[in-house]
Structure 1
Amino acid sequence: MPALTLPPVRRWIAPPVTQENIDWANLTVIDLAKAKTPEGREEQVRLARDATHKQGFFYVVNHGMDQANVDRMFDIASTAFEEVDAEEKLRYEARIKQTGTYLGYKLQQYWHIANGVRDRIEHYNIPRDVNEREHPNAVRPFLPEIQKFIEFTHRDILNEVQKLLSLGLELPENVLPDLHPYDETNHSFWRFMLYHPRTQEEEEKTNNVWMKGHADHMSFTALWSQPVTALQIKDHDGQWRYVRHVPNALVINCGDTMEYITGGYYRSAVHRVVKPPKDQDGLRRLGLFYFHYTADQVPIQPLLNSPVVQREGVTKRIEGDVPTQEKWRKTRTAVYGVSELKKAEDGSEYEIVNGVRVTHHN
């Protein structure tokens, strides 16, 4: 059988990792290869459960995608920015506030960060089914590869992780994957993201924060690890710590949807992005992300049939009218980074969305 010929793509050369002395977060590593044996599976269930309960962040390794394919996807991500001119990006600009989705380009300086400084981040967002919408000319040859990568991330990685987390709730392993089907009811999406360097004046006005501390509103976010050190988590002791680059690993963080579905047992992780260390100053930070939702019709309410939730009690729930995933995702997306925030006594900022207080950490 002849080898499949892939369309040519310009290489994205990943920068070297930092050599600075960094305060790294101590994150759990989930090994999907070990989860294939009964003994290993029991261990990985415990690790996944405890990591998501205590920190909401963990790595996933030995997932079955080789490094060459990951590198090529970074090459394709770069194409979405380098090979598409400003005029074409405008034609595919996302109508975020109007539609409650990110699909298309979010251009630079859309979000307000602090003191009049707006973001230097651009991303191109692609639906779970890449054929739902048109794409820029430079991206079109790669759509079959992007689709395969999306499906692999959804089915072979996140759904496998969710089997472990279902067992961690002492439920059948299919419970969480069944809430996140790979079908037309699910509006998970893929993102290519590029952070551009900022001026010294912008850094001073924002205290070097590129994106405020926040929790994602979906069930899980999967980030393919990359070498520019800028992502921080707010650790269990309240300190901000950096997330270390692990080659060919995914960094998974739990979001608000999963926190509410588990009554607060699985914790949505607060994280932010800051200026890289000195030896990476001025570099652009390219990322591959998958934002994972339940099916649109799923109500955002606790799984009260979980023995763990019953024992631990419900510590987080949405009071009043319980939104569906569709209402939750559209409302949270539409207001993020553009709504008027209120000041809290502890110095953080907040807004009320769907009756829920959503905090933004400075």
Structure 2
Amino acid sequence: MPSVVRPVVPHHVPPPRTKANFEYTDLAILNFSKIGTPEGRAELTVQLHDVMKTHGFFYIVNHGLSQAEEERMFDIANVPFSGVPAEEKSNYLANIKHDGSYQGYKPREFLMIDGGVRDQREDYNVNHDVTRKQHPQAVQFLIPEIEAFARFNHMQILHPLLRLFALSLELPEDTFVNMHNWDAVGESYVRMMKYYSRSAEDEIKAKQVWLKGHTDIGTITLLWSQPVAGLQVFSPDGKWRYVRHIENALVVNSGDAMEFLSGGYYKPTIHRVMQPPEDQRSYERLCLIYFAMTDDDVKLVPRIESPVLQKHGIQRRWSNDVDAPTMEAWRKGRTSTYGQVELTKKENGIEEYMVNGIPDKYYS
């Protein structure tokens, strides 16, 4: 990332790894040091295609952000929670229900989980256009670094990854890049997030689920790996398995928008967050994420010109392109209702709510 002035902030000491004997999912690792050559991109394209047709989750290593720079960003990610008084936070709340946007604070106990239990997760979300919203005083000094971090994720990770997605579908390599313009109106953003512990009674009521099984709204999610266990992936064999922590790695998955754009070829992976293991329950779970979405005005319709999709068949979630939503409409529909509406229970623990004419599903 470019050099910026760095105010002093308290150092976030990451918790030790868990010693719990979990069943971890076996995720592929994409080595981004290969992205700079045609041979490397060809190798990564094949690898991406394979992982997206199996787990749908994977790691990226050697991405260009040093260990020290990553640690600095986790120090910054803690400031909106530890460095801003509660009364000041209330001035920067996201208007989630009305705007369908998470920009600003999502407070604790905003989302319904299960058994009458509400979430204990607090977010502070900053749009890649950092001028879209005002920021608390303690955060204002850090905005140049947050913007540089957003730009790094967008230009150095997201765009190269989108080129691999396009190549894997035999599309012009900038097909998806051109839908994710840095200067366009869109909702790609940095999320700084902290989970807090719950009472033993609430853990029983919610069956230790901290965030229900779901798919992400946008195209690509970039999660910076952190040591507190809890993230689980719903595997192809029907089992939930934990995601292992790798130092200075990205945990990556695609979301709804990529499914729509790929005509169902690349499914968004179902994932959830569980209560941490006993040896990590005294620690807060601090997360740092970049959620990528297309420009707001992009219609989420299949790229039917793809030879791969033409060969394997195209699944449309809407009967025609006219009925398909824009990224803005899909994002607002899901964001404004998630955790706020009564879900209809289906078989096998699936719950759903209709958004833009199709079921938005959640999994226990």
Amino acid at match of 1:26: D
Q: State the shift of 1:81 in Å.
A: 0.3
| Residue correspondences, number | 360
Superimposed CA distance per residue, residues 176-225 of structure 1 (whole angstroms, 9 cap, x where no aligned partner): 11111111322211110000011110110011100000001111111100
1:254 maps to what in 2? 254
Aligned partners of 1:179 and 1:294 also within 8 Å: yes
Amino acid at match of 1:358: D
Query: 1:317 & 1:270 partners in 2: Cα distance?
Result: 18
1:22 maps to what in 2? 22
2:354 maps to what in 1? 352
Aligned partners of 2:125 and 2:189 also within 8 Å: yes
Secondary structure, counterpart of 1:303 in structure 2: coil
1:159 maps to what in 2? 159
Q: State the shift of 1:281 in Å.
A: 1.9
Which residue of the other structure, out of 328, 331, 342, is the alignment partner of 1:329?
331
Superimposed CA distance per residue, residues 234-274 of structure 1 (whole angstroms, 9 cap, x where no aligned partner): 01111100011111111111101100110111110100000
2:75 maps to what in 1? 75
Q: State the shift of 1:316 in Å.
A: 4.3
Identity %: 45
Amino acid at match of 1:154: H
**Any residues of structure 2 matched to 1:155-194 within 5 Å, and which?**
155-194=155-194
**Any residues of structure 2 matched to 1:37-116 within 5 Å, and which?**
37-116=37-116
2:123 maps to what in 1? 123
Q: State the shift of 1:5 in Å.
A: 4.4
Query: 1:16 & 1:9 partners in 2: Cα distance?
Result: 21
1:138 maps to what in 2? 138
Amino acid at match of 2:210: W
Secondary structure, counterpart of 1:29 in structure 2: strand
Secondary structure, counterpart of 2:273 in structure 1: strand
2:306 maps to what in 1? 306
CA RMSD of aligned residues (A): 1.2
Secondary structure, counterpart of 1:182 in structure 2: coil
Amino acid at match of 1:228: V
Query: 1:94 & 1:339 partners in 2: Cα distance?
Result: 18
1:202 maps to what in 2? 202
Higher alpha-carbon deviation: 18-27 or 319-328:
319-328
Superimposed CA distance per residue, residues 2-21 of structure 1 (whole angstroms, 9 cap, x where no aligned partner): x8642101010001111221
TM-score (norm 1): 0.97
Aligned partners of 1:220 and 1:255 also within 8 Å: yes
Aligned partners of 1:319 and 1:355 also within 8 Å: no
The 1:311–1:288 alpha-carbon spacing in structure 2 relative to 1, beyond 3 Å, is same
Superimposed CA distance per residue, residues 282-325 of structure 1 (whole angstroms, 9 cap, x where no aligned partner): 32100011110111111111000011111111134233511111
Aligned partners of 2:215 and 2:271 also within 8 Å: yes
Query: 1:239 & 1:204 partners in 2: Cα distance?
Result: 21
> Where do 5+ consecutive residues of structure 2 fail to align?
none
Amino acid at match of 2:329: K
Q: State the shift of 1:37 in Å.
A: 2.5
Q: State the shift of 1:358 in Å.
A: 1.0
Amino acid at match of 2:349: G
Query: 1:36 & 1:127 partners in 2: Cα distance?
Result: 28
> Where do 5+ consecutive residues of structure 1 fail to align?
none
Query: 2:210 & 2:78 partners in 1: Cα distance?
Result: 20
The 1:215–1:4 alpha-carbon spacing in structure 2 relative to 1, beyond 3 Å, is closer
Which residue of the other structure, out of 348, 360, 363, is the alignment partner of 1:361?
363
1:7 maps to what in 2? 7
Superimposed CA distance per residue, residues 330-361 of structure 1 (whole angstroms, 9 cap, x where no aligned partner): 11111111011101022221110000111110
Secondary structure, counterpart of 1:73 in structure 2: helix
Higher alpha-carbon deviation: 144-153 or 346-355:
346-355
Amino acid at match of 2:357: G
Query: 2:54 & 2:236 partners in 1: Cα distance?
Result: 7
**Any residues of structure 2 matched to 1:236-251 within 5 Å, and which?**
236-251=236-251
Superimposed CA distance per residue, residues 54-92 of structure 1 (whole angstroms, 9 cap, x where no aligned partner): 222111111101111111111111111001111011111
Amino acid at match of 2:217: H
Query: 1:256 & 1:75 partners in 2: Cα distance?
Result: 31
Q: State the shift of 1:96 in Å.
A: 0.3
